[in-house]
Amino acid sequence: MRVEPTSTIPIFQQIADGIRAKVACGAYRAGDLIPSVRAQALTLLVNPNTVQRAYEQLEREGLISGKKGVGMVVSENSPLSARNGVNQSLRDALSQAIQSARAAGVSRRTVDRIYRDAWNERETRGQVR
Whether residue 46 contacts residue 85, with contact meaning beta carbons closer than 8 Å, is answered with: no
SS3 content of the chain, % helix, strand, coil (to 5): 60, 5, 35
- 113 C-beta neighbours (distance < 10 Å), count: 11
pLDDT digits (tens, 9 = 90+) for 62-118: 899 998 888 999 998 776 677 777 788 888 888 989 999 999 999 999 999 998 998
Please name the amino acid found at residue 105. Answer: G
- What percentage of the chain reaches a pLDDT higher than 70? 95
Report how far apart, in Å, the C-alpha atoms of 118 and of each of 22, 46, 69, 111 are: 21, 28, 44, 10
Second-level CATH architecture of 1-129: Orthogonal Bundle (1.10)
